[in-house]
Structure 1
């Protein structure tokens, strides 16, 4: 088992130039779940499965076949993170830096390593996680001459790793390396809704970390371009549209747990105020519509959901994403809708009511305009053609 797994660890690196340039890969990989080892990946758009013959080892490559993304799972193999890290070092004899950190309270190591396999010099990131009886090695790397070009997408791929369903709503390993989660020094920020005072515990490092992820993912997204615009087919989205979906999924995951305490307070506030459950999406929407319109001057132009709440400001997609996260935590089904054609974003809520609706995955979502004080179901008539919208859902994909 160990020798076979080691050969699999090294083979894609050795063959990176020779094998990948000779044989195209055909199997597309996007949202990937491994039920045997209970982990989830949101693979960069356009990357393909290179090797997935067993549950213990899964390998992906990019469309140009220059970069590799791999996940290896071990059961009852290592007693500590030090043993796991030593094993990886022995196999690759790498050079570079590494640092210990905690990922979801598990001992972990992040390494920036350069290593050689035959004639090929490679560089990339390794994350090693020791989670009790189960251990993981997540690797993303490219030839040294391509490393800078792939840097952001390598980190993005690794950061999509989520072991277990609960981790799908927690920051990824790269994010937790950048800044610990939960935040070590949170400070209470007071938020007002109706006549109530609520609080949100955050610290500056946490907000900064959320913005770092947004800008990294915006750089990844910008690599897909768009070319001349044609309306995307929702049944077969072009890469640029699918990349938009992945972009918002990454931001949603990174910030979901940060808003949970606020959602609990909102639920208690609505209960004390006697707000009927069916009215909660309306009341929450009206609150967020009262925030100031604001866009950052960065590439993304997007405030994170925590920053949106703290500053009471944001644009259509930052407000929409904040609304969707809070609705999910309050037990409502909601999606985000974004549009290049309309240069706008709205939310969609699966609740009864009259007005404009968007059909998605067998359900019907009532529009929620975030930047105008209108009720659910009302939308600008020039944006009412569903063909101009790209839906972003956040439910887990089926296992495969």
Structure 2
């Protein structure tokens, strides 16, 4: 039998989720957040809070239609001096067999991860993580697991839960805790971008393409579960939101270099509306990409991850739209994506007073110019057959 290290086991998983898990009853979507300890989880749709401890520090969530559950526990006690100790304590309380590893994530020098198994009413196995919180001597531990016989097919669901953890808003749109553990920094990969006739030298990390693809496949596997569910729209929005969160941080240096070199030129070209000039330079740039899907297989996502797009490895309307969205929002400009199942298409939006076709965010009165990424047109120009606003779903980015 082949023996894998803990890190290798995280990524030796089956990404195709069994189709026999069908949805049949109503569930709800929920973002878990705590204003006292300043953490959040953007979990897949349908989980329900099953049990809360008397001290309000431990929470048990179950899914009524899928054999995955998780425990979220806060430790606020100066007697705990490390994430390894906290995670070990949480797992030992359940009588779990475990293997724990530690690693750095964002500004935390030590976080912990464990592959564990346990026997309660039946045999379970899963992954657990622990990270420090902003409050001194406080930690969050999350144990996500399934029945042992469904572990292989449930792994993407489990990973998606854990990777959505945020313990510091400054890093909300940076690679998640699981992605960081599996794909540590490997060094610069230099790239050159030609935007509006300007060559911009920048870089990503050598691990970014593989890491971003891993998150894509994980989240797409989760999305497939909701194809016939009444919360399919929310699941679709979450899918793009999770991809955006991972992508934004990976492109931080790219965004800085593009903005610092391109925006001053736009200020000179259009002093009265430099934001529009900058947005148009980005839109025209992606409109000039040669259309190429990264994956034509129906069982895998055809969305090309953004580091791969920058390296010329493929693109589609949704990856182009997200790339423009990242570069606009990094410049402090409001933007989000529009997706349509009816049109099998995606667009990007941009808040600006310039005239053109706009999408109004319901209940806000705010209007956003619509940007078509696959035809060489200006902001606010869209095809007549794509004009029905009711067929577009907004994906508001964090």
* TM-score (ref. length: structure 2): 0.84
Equivalent positions of 1:221-232 (< 5 A) are 221-226=223-228
* Residue 61 of structure 1, CA deviation: 1.5
Aligned to 1:293: 291
Aligned to 2:375: 372
Structure 2 CA distance for aligned equivalents of residues 189 and 115 of structure 1: 47
Q: Which whole-Å deviations, capped at 9, do the CAs of 1:249-282 have from their partners, x for residues lacking one?
A: 1100001112222222222223442242332111
Q: 2:47 touches 2:61 (CA, 8 Å); kept in 1?
A: yes
Structure 2 CA distance for aligned equivalents of residues 28 and 50 of structure 1: 13
Kindly tell me: are residues 383 and 278 of structure 1, through their superposed partners in 2, closer, same or farther at Cα, counting changes over 3 Å? closer
Number of aligned residue pairs:
358
- Picking from 262, 269, 277, the partner of 1:270 is 262
Aligned to 2:149: 145
The DSSP-based 3-state class of the residue aligned with 1:331 is: coil
* Residue 85 of structure 1, CA deviation: 3.3
Q: 1:358 touches 1:365 (CA, 8 Å); kept in 2?
A: yes
Kindly tell me: are residues 55 and 345 of structure 1, through their superposed partners in 2, closer, same or farther at Cα, counting changes over 3 Å? farther
Q: 2:294 touches 2:314 (CA, 8 Å); kept in 1?
A: no
- Picking from 105, 108, 112, the partner of 2:111 is 108
Moved more, 190-199 or 367-376: 190-199
Structure 1 CA distance for aligned equivalents of residues 382 and 341 of structure 2: 16
- 1:304 matched to 2:296? The reply is no
Q: Which whole-Å deviations, capped at 9, do the CAs of 1:208-262 have from their partners, x for residues lacking one?
A: 01001101111111111238xxxxxxxxxx3111110000011000011122222
The DSSP-based 3-state class of the residue aligned with 1:184 is: coil
For structure 1, the residue ranges without an aligned partner over 5 or more in a row are 1-24, 228-237, 396-400
Pairwise CA RMSD of aligned residues? 2.1
Structure 2 CA distance for aligned equivalents of residues 48 and 248 of structure 1: 23
Equivalent positions of 1:147-166 (< 5 A) are 147-166=151-170
Q: Which whole-Å deviations, capped at 9, do the CAs of 1:20-50 have from their partners, x for residues lacking one?
A: xxxxx99834222211110111111122222
Structure 1 CA distance for aligned equivalents of residues 294 and 339 of structure 2: 18
Q: 1:28 touches 1:49 (CA, 8 Å); kept in 2?
A: no
For structure 2, the residue ranges without an aligned partner over 5 or more in a row are 1-24
Kindly tell me: are residues 26 and 167 of structure 1, through their superposed partners in 2, closer, same or farther at Cα, counting changes over 3 Å? farther
Structure 1 CA distance for aligned equivalents of residues 66 and 249 of structure 2: 35
Kindly tell me: are residues 59 and 85 of structure 1, through their superposed partners in 2, closer, same or farther at Cα, counting changes over 3 Å? closer
- Picking from 230, 248, 251, the partner of 1:256 is 248
Kindly tell me: are residues 242 and 26 of structure 1, through their superposed partners in 2, closer, same or farther at Cα, counting changes over 3 Å? closer
Q: 1:198 touches 1:262 (CA, 8 Å); kept in 2?
A: no
